[in-house]
Every structure is written in structure tokens, then in C-alpha cells.
Amino acid sequence: MGKTVLVVDDSQVFRTSMKFFLERAGFSVAEAEIQNLANDAAENAEQIKDQVKTIQDQLGIVRKDLAEIADSSLQEATRARKSTELLVAIERDMTEVNRGNEEVTQASVEIATAGAQAKKGIDQIAAAAQEADKAATQAAAASRQQAQGAKELQAAIEEIASIATELQQQQAA
């Protein structure tokens, strides 16, 4: 057998007759009742609608979490900047101390080196916090796009459900 034909009709007699003639003509035949297809479509539309609602709810939670992460990242970046400013002030004070005696100069150089390393670490933390802020902003934008996509999907599902309802009403009539 080469090709498959789908026979859809409410009449079992019609489907059986068509299957008989089509199979004799060399076709493989699959048959379905219109009411069953409409019922299946309506059930599937309801399931999709429920899944979209669940996804929308989850997107709301993710959006809220991302906003909290972004706020936290901004607070950390602010703290890192303040720490960097403090380290710069400490470094200036150390320069004045270096002008003192030789013994204090040696200690000040070691402290300045440690301060510079700490400043690099804080600068790295500030850079990481800024990157996290950028990532959170991008994630929030992606979340908004996903929410818009979910809304559009929900509208499409509602349209499918409406069509399925119309088909059921036409079937009933």
C-alpha cells in the first residue's frame, strides 16, 4: 500500500464503505468520527490554556525574583564603590605616612600593596556586580518578552478554543 487516506465522518456506514473502496484501490485508510475529533480538540485546547496560565504564573514569579536580584546587585555595586572610595582614601593617607621614617615607609608600602590588591578585588567585585546587574536587566527584558509571547500564545489558544466551540455547536445543530 502506498498512500494513507483519512476518512472523517459521523456515519459509521459511510466510513466503512469508503474504507472498503479505498483499500481496494490500494490506499491505507485511517478513519475518525468528527465529534471525537472535535472533543479531542476541545480537551487539548483546555489543557493548553491551563498550561499557558501556569507558565504565566511562573513567569510572574521569575520576573519578581529577577527584580529582587537586580536590586540586590545594585546595592552590592554601591557598597563596592564606597569600599573602593575608602581604599583610595586609605591609599592617600598611606602616601603621607610613607613620607615619615624609613621603618614606617616599609610598613606603609606593604599596606599600600595589600590595599591595592584589595582594591583590585573590590573592583572585580564591582565589575561582577555590574555584570550581574546587566544580566538581570537582560533577564528582565527576556522575561517581559516571554510574558508577551505567552499572552500571544494564550490569545491563539483562546481562538482555537473558540473555533472548537463553534465546531461543537455546529455539530450539535
Q: What is the pLDDT of residues 16-44, one digit of tens each?
A: 998 899 999 899 988 877 777 667 778 88
Whether pLDDT at 99 is above 80: no
Alpha carbon distance 74, 166 (integer Å): 52
Same domain, 4 and 84: no
Q: What is the DSSP letter of 29?
A: E
Same domain, 95 and 151: yes
Which range among 20-29, 73-82, 103-112 shows the weakest confidence by mean pLDDT?
103-112
Split into its structural domains, the chain has a count of 2
Q: Which helix (H) or strand (E) holds 11?
A: none
pTM, two decimals, is 0.32
Residue 109 and residue 56 in contact, taking contact as beta carbons nearer than 8 Å: no
Same domain, 56 and 137: yes
Same domain, 93 and 20: no
Same domain, 27 and 88: no
Same domain, 11 and 64: no
Q: Can you give the CATH number for the domain in which 120 is found?
A: 1.10.287.950
Residue 40 and residue 25 in contact, taking contact as beta carbons nearer than 8 Å: no
Domain of residue 19, residue span: 1-32
Same domain, 39 and 20: no
Three cell numbers, residue 9: 465522518
